[in-house]
Amino acid sequence: KPVKTSLLLEVFLYFGGLYDAVWWIAQLALFVFKGLNLPYPTNNFTTEFVLLWLYLPIDPVRLFLSSKGNKTETNSPLVLAIILSLPLIALHVFYMLYQTYVLRFELIINAASLFFICIQDLISFVKVPSFAASR
């Protein structure tokens, strides 16, 4: 039986996971900076800060499921990982466009993170039919 797993997906998952950790730390540092130096409305700061913490439980699970689905050539973990990426995509779009203060650096780091998530989802989406055909 030919191997249908994707090395490219694993590479993007690995480096995307590393980048996500760097993104989260940078975003936290930016919130500290903005909270101390900008006239932030309290409700807005609290909401935006809490949204950052919601990223933590979702992303590692998404990365794990993507990798598991790829390595085991199983569709359900890949589909679930794609579904879990939707709130993360929404979060990055929010941080790029709708938060109270958007710094240029935030546009760049969020765009890069969106790139990783979208590429991972695209590769996963392409692999789902090939994994289904092998069952």
pLDDT band at 3, cuts 50/70/90? Answer: confident
Domain membership of residue 91 (yes or no) is: yes
Closest CA to 31 of 46, 10, 15: 46
Mean pLDDT throughout 102-120?
Answer: 98
8 A C-beta contact, residue 114 and residue 86: no
Domain membership of residue 1 (yes or no) is: no
pTM of the model: 0.92
Residue 93 has a pLDDT of 98
Look up tokens 């590429």; give the residue.
Answer: 119
- State mean pLDDT over 86-111: 97
**Residue 126: predicted pLDDT:** 95
SS3 for 82-104, per residue?
HHHHHHHHHHHHHHHHCCCCCCH
What is the average per-residue pLDDT within 123-129? 94
Residue 28 lies in a domain: yes
Domains: count for the chain: 1
Q: What is the pLDDT of residue 107?
A: 98
Per residue in 35-60, pLDDT tens?
999 999 989 999 999 999 999 999 99
2 within domain boundaries: no
Determine the pLDDT at residue 131. 86
Judge whether residue 135 has pLDDT over 70: no
pLDDT at 130: 87
- For residue 38, the enclosing domain spans 7-133
pLDDT at 133 > cutoff 80:
no
